[in-house]
């Protein structure tokens, strides 16, 4: 029963950053007077690692993490100086234990945060193009449909397939094919808006999620993208164009996968009707 909750707590971002900062600093300040009141007979030193772990795991602003470590060490040393019944060698030993344990736990939690976030990024990123991958796309579409059902509005989904890409791989080699995919990723990043998200979902197939985008706006963006792909690919000596299918969702279907299927069918219609063109799908 406890394990799922611990897993959630150990996930960076589960605790909002500002809340982690407030709770961490507040806990340190609460522990300080308790440490003094109980004296050397009951040591609270070990408890300080919990607020430090909290802030180092859930806060990305290093200044606040360092500040919490400095505050924690400072109040523990002040408490240590008030203990008149401890011998000097014990106090020196305790001083080094306090400094070492506080810094070590904060560093371990911070490294854990960095590694977890990097693992999440890699699991949702296509290694060749650095675009988001299929897994990230499915999550994004799901979240967008939830947002629409709750707040209304509309969004568009675009599926793009590169015409002639297989021929490039066969005649020019996979290295040139990878370069063409990299160029396509660059084109998508340059010619989509900040609110849009581009994905590579496999091979030479790409997807763009466009929140708050009407049919007219989506069609205009897709037509411009289709021309840009043909032009930029030609400049790099690639005989590649883009077949694009899209659908605009005003009322989300019962199954999220139907949105991608609709845009995908529209893309195949664009390919079979001449390639290098844009077709709308109706969901």
Cα–Cα distance for residue pair 241/225, rounded to 1 Å = 10
CB 25 within 8 A of CB 69: no
Strands (E), the chain: 155-163, 197-202, 205-211, 241-249, 278-280
- For this structure, is 170 an active site residue? no
Helix, strand, coil % over all residues of the chain, rounded to 5: 65, 15, 20
How distant, in Å, are the alpha carbons of 31, 102, 163 from that of 37?
10, 21, 75
Cα–Cα distance for residue pair 138/122, rounded to 1 Å = 16
Q: Which of 126, 196, 204, 264 is catalytic?
A: 204
Q: Return the closest-CA partner of residue 15 out of 68, 76, 59, 64.
A: 59
**Sign of the C-alpha dihedral, residues 14, 11, 76, 35?**
positive
Q: Return the closest-CA partner of residue 134 out of 123, 146, 119.
A: 123
Catalytic positions = 204
């Amino acid at each position: 029963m406890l394990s799922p909750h611990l897993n959630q707590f150990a996930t960076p971002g589960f605790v909002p950053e500002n809340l982690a900062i407030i709770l961490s600093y507040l806990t340190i300040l609460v522990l300080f007077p308790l440490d003094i009141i109980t004296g050397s007979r009951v040591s609270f030193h070990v408890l300080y690692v919990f607020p430090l772990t909290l802030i180092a795991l859930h806060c990305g602003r290093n200044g606040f993490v360092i500040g919490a470590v400095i505050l924690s060490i400072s109040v523990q040393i002040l408490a240590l100086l008030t203990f008149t019944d401890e011998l000097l060698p014990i106090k020196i030993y305790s001083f080094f234990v306090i400094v070492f344990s506080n810094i070590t736990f904060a560093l371990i939690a911070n490294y854990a945060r960095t590694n977890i976030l990097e693992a999440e990024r890699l699991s949702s990123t296509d290694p060749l193009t650095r675009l988001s991958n299929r897994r990230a796309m499915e999550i994004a579409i799901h979240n967008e449909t939830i947002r629409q059902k709750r707040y209304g509005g509309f969004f568009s989904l675009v599926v793009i397939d590169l015409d002639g890409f297989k021929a490039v791989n066969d005649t020019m080699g996979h290295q040139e094919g990878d370069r063409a995919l990299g160029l396509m990723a660059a084109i998508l990043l340059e010619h989509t808006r900040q609110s849009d998200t581009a994905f590579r979902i496999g091979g030479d197939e790409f997807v763009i999620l466009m929140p708050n985008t009407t049919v007219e706006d989506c069609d205009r963006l897709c037509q411009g993208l289709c021309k840009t792909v043909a032009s930029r690919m030609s400049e790099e000596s690639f005989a590649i164009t883009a077949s694009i299918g899209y659908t605009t969702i005003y009322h989300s279907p019962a199954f999220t996968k139907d949105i991608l299927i609709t845009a995908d069918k529209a893309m195949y219609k664009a390919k079979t009707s001449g390639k290098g063109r844009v077709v709308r799908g109706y969901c």
